[in-house]
Amino acid sequence: MKSKHQRLILALAALVAIIAAGLLAASALKDEAAYFYVPNDVKTKGVEPGKAVRLGGMVEKGSLRHEADGVTIRFTVTDGKAQVAVTFKGIAPDLFREGSGVVAEGAFDTQGTFVASNLLAKHDERYMPREMEGMQYDETTHQMKGAPKP
Amino acid sequence: MNHWPFIIAAYALTALGTLGVSWTSWRAMRSAEARADALRKEH
Amino acid sequence: MHAFANPAKFLSLARPLTPWLFWLGLTLILAGAACGLFLTPADYLQGDSVRIMYIHVPAAWLGMGGWSSMAIAALVQMVWRHPLAGVAGRAIAVPGALFTAICLATGSIWGRPTWGTWWEWDGRMTSMLVLLFLYFGYIALARASAEQAGGIGDNGGVSRVTAIFALVGAVNLPIINRSVVWWNSLHQGPSITMRGSTIDSAILWPLGLTMMGFSLWFGAIVLMRMRAILAQNKVEARLARRAREA
């Protein structure tokens, strides 16, 4: 009986140590393993022009402009704290739209505009039927609010 | 973009994988248990 | 717990349980998939591709749940020396790896029409791929140690090193779970949390059926594989005894 307890304590201690080490390593990676920068990172840390990075955030409502050439689009990416102007030449994914998430791959030019070579659409964790679009999600009650569209 | 080819591909892949593993697991079990039974009866 | 320490007792329970779990699981999977494919509405943003969720989410849950069970089995094996713990751990590895692979594949297929990419090295996808490699490592290690021992023997061929590997690999599980919170990722945050679900109930409900169905089916596969290992072990033991007597 005694040896069984000894083994249990030893195994649990080892497990705790391993998990603590893993989590420590993961949290140390926190900044390095970020898949993309948000506009506020760009503002506070600065990204040198020409360096290939990913920029993620929301496409600001009302900011999307189509250029005269028909393939270039301009829009603003925001994270609520800072904004970055983005231009992209090419075909955007279906889910790319104003007010929705986006991850842009590319680099900053010398004027501070982000020139994207590829766009990825990022959706959030909300899933709902089409009829419910435009309704508001309540963070505290986890219910949808507002009347459905006619 | 039409999503149905993607949906069908995802479901077909899942069906293939799960049925494949079911089949091999069942066959391995049957043959192992049959061998064990045969050996016991020999004695 | 020790009521099941005896493999004969375990088998008397596992034999009738296997077909029940298998067919009940399969029925629930088919019902859930049919409802998810034909009855539920499409998502307002993702369209019909949201239907991939009904297999992607159970696959993710079983891929991670499989390794959690293997880690628990490893702990039971090392601390209590339970003879069936190793057998269970080894039986879980293959279906666990299968579901992790299905999760990655369906996620990739889902990502193309929604995100616009098959694969990105973001935190969630990378850590899930690491889990698949951990499964491969465990399977190879268990096989090698059983071969070295010259048979399955005790613990279903799971050596102490293999069990320790299962425990250490469990570190990856909280990393997978938290990857979308810690790091900016392309993958969205968790939809179903302790506080509720951000998936509308009109879309959510078949997920319960497929989750339950795949879990039962997973149990049936694990029982089949455990029975195979136990029977094989019996054959090996008998042959060895016969060789000694001869």
pLDDT reading at C6 higher than 80: no
ipTM comes to 0.92
Distance between CA A76 and CA C246 in Å, rounded? 84
List all residues of chain B from 13 to 32 with a beta carbon under 8 Å from chain C. Answer: 13-14, 17-18, 21-22, 25-26, 28-29, 32
**pLDDT above 70 covers what percent of chain C?**
98
- Contact check, Cβ <8 Å, C49/B3: yes
- Is C194 within a domain? no
C225-241 mean pLDDT = 89
- Contact check, Cβ <8 Å, B36/C234: yes
Distance between CA C23 and CA C151 in Å, rounded? 32
pLDDT reading at B42 higher than 70: yes
Coarse DSSP helix, strand, coil percentages of chain B, rounded to the nearest 5 percent? 90, 0, 10
Note whether C205 and C197 are within 8 A (CB).
no
Nearest CB to B26 within list C48, C113, C224: C224
C158-167 mean pLDDT = 88
pLDDT tens-digit profile of C136-157? 999 999 888 888 877 777 777 7
- What is the model's pLDDT at position C90? 93
Token digits for C230? Answer: 């136990």
pLDDT reading at C229 higher than 80: yes
A95-119 mean pLDDT = 87
Tell which residue, B32, B20, A34, has the closest CA to residue C95: B20
- Is C8 within a domain? no
Of chain C, the end-to-end C-alpha distance in Å amounts to 38
- What is the model's pLDDT at position C201? 82
Confidence of residue C22 (pLDDT cuts 50, 70, 90): very high
- Contact check, Cβ <8 Å, C43/A129: yes
Distance (Å) from the C-alpha of residue A68 to the closest C-alpha of chain C? 25
pLDDT reading at A41 higher than 70: yes
- Contact check, Cβ <8 Å, B3/C113: yes
Helices (H), C115-200: 123-148, 160-169, 172-182
Q: Taking the alpha carbons of A23, A24, A26, A31 in that order, is the dihedral positive or negative?
A: positive
- What is the model's pLDDT at position C44? 82
Nearest CB to C228 within list B1, B22, B32: B32
- Contact check, Cβ <8 Å, B22/C231: no
Distance between CA A141 and CA A146 in Å, rounded? 14
Note whether C67 and C93 are within 8 A (CB).
no
Nearest residue of chain C to residue A93 (CA atoms): C116
Owning domain of residue C210: 56-186+203-245
Task: Give the DSSP letter of residue A82.
Answer: -
Task: Give the DSSP letter of residue C6.
Answer: S
Q: How many CB pairs under 8 A join A and C?
A: 137
Displacement of CA C132 from its chain's centroid (Å): 11
Distance between CA B7 and CA B23 in Å, rounded? 24
Note whether A60 and A76 are within 8 A (CB).
yes
pLDDT tens-digit profile of C97-119? 999 999 999 999 999 888 888 98
- Contact check, Cβ <8 Å, C43/A4: no
Confidence of residue A141 (pLDDT cuts 50, 70, 90): low
Task: Give the DSSP letter of residue A149.
Answer: P
Tell which residue, C31, C3, C13, has the closest CA to residue C230: C13
**pLDDT above 90 covers what percent of chain C?**
50
C184-192 mean pLDDT = 83
Strand partners, A102: A57, A121
- HSE-CB of A45 using CA atoms within 13 angstroms: 8
Distance (Å) from the C-alpha of residue C193 to the closest C-alpha of chain B? 25
Which range among A68-77, B29-38, C11-20, C195-204 shows the weakest confidence by mean pLDDT?
A: C195-204
- What is the model's pLDDT at position C203? 86
Residues of B with CB below 8 A from C53's CB?
Answer: none
Distance (Å) from the C-alpha of residue C160 to the closest C-alpha of chain A? 12
CA dihedral in degrees (C160, C162, C165, C169; nearest 10)?
-130
- Is C51 within a domain? no
pLDDT reading at A150 higher than 50: no
Residue type, C179: S
Distance (Å) from the C-alpha of residue C23 to the closest C-alpha of chain A? 31
- What is the model's pLDDT at position A2? 67
Residues of B with CB below 8 A from C48's CB?
Answer: 3-4, 7
Number of domains in chain C: 1
Distance between CA C242 and CA C208 in Å, rounded? 51
